[in-house]
Chains A and B, each alone.
Chain A
Amino acid sequence: MRCPPQAKRDHISDAQRAGHDRWRGEVFPIYFEQFLHPYLSSLAESTPAGQDHFDARIDKLYQDFAVIAAQMGFMRDLEATPVRGTAGPAPLRAAAGASRAHGAAGRASSVIAATGAASSEQLDVEAKANAVPRRITRAATDLVRASLSPRAPLIPPRR
Chain B
Amino acid sequence: MTASGARGGGLAAQTRQLSLELQLDIPNFPRQPQPVAAGKGEEGVLVFVSLVCSALASLVQQSSRLRAMEMLLVFAYHLPDAHKLDRILPYLCSMLTDEQALVRAAALRSVTQLLAMVNEVGRRAPFAAPCVRSRLTLRPCAGPRWRRHAQATFGSAELFPEYLLPLLSKMADDPEVLVQTTYASCIGSLSESAFRLLQSAFPPPADDVGAATAAAAEDAAGAAGPDAATPAEGYDAALDRLQALMLGEARNLLASQDTVINRTVLADIVNLCTYCGPRNVDELLQHLITYLNKSDWQLRSVAS
- Which A residues have a C-beta under 8 Å from some C-beta of B? 28-29, 31-32, 35-36, 40, 51-55, 57-59, 61-63, 65-66, 68-69, 71-76, 79, 111, 127, 133-134, 136-137, 139-140, 143
Contact = CB atoms under 8 A, between A and B. Distances in A.
Given A54-B59, A72-B45, A65 B36 contact: no
Interface stretch (B47-55, B165-173, B199-207, B279-287): B47-55
Interface in B57-109: 58-61, 64, 67-68, 70-71, 74, 78
Contacts of B71: 58, 61-62, 65
B30 interface: yes
Interface of B: 26-31, 33-37, 40-41, 43-45, 47-48, 51-52, 55, 58-61, 64, 67-68, 70-71, 74, 78
B36 A79 contact: yes
Nearest to A66: B28
Contacts of B60: 51-52, 54-55
Contact of B51 (A29, A59, A61, A74): A61
Which 5 residue pairs spanning A and B have beta carbons closest together? A140-B28, A66-B28, A72-B41, A54-B55, A55-B64
B61 A74 contact: no
Given A65-B27, A75-B34, A76-B35, 4 more contacts: A62-B67, A65-B29, A76-B34, A127-B27
Contacts of B33: 74
B44 A31 contact: yes
B29 A59 contact: no
Nearest to B45: A72
Given A31-B44, A58-B67, A59-B64, A73 B27 contact: no
Contact of B40 (A52, A66, A73): A73
A77 to B, nearest CB: 8
Nearest to B67: A62
Main secondary structure of the interface of B (DSSP, over half): loop
User: Is chain A's interface secondary structure helix, strand, loop, or mixed overall?
Assistant: helix
B36 A74 contact: yes
A128 to B, nearest CB: 12
Contacts of B67: 58-59, 62
Contacts of A28: 43
B48 A55 contact: no
B95 to A, nearest CB: 13
B104 to A, nearest CB: 18
A61 B28 contact: no
Nearest to B70: A62
A55 B59 contact: yes
Given A61-B52, A74-B74, A69 B44 contact: no
Contacts of A76: 34-36
Contacts of A111: 28
B99 to A, nearest CB: 16
B31 A133 contact: yes
A127 B29 CA distance: 12
B27 A69 contact: no
Nearest to A134: B30
Contacts of A79: 36
Contact of B44 (A29, A53, A66): A29
A137 B33 CA distance: 12
A72 B78 contact: yes
B34 A55 contact: no
16 contacts: A29-B41, A29-B43, A31-B44, A35-B44, A36-B47, A54-B58, A58-B52, A61-B48, A61-B71, A65-B71, A65-B74, A71-B41, A72-B48, A73-B40, A75-B30, A127-B28
A54 B78 contact: no
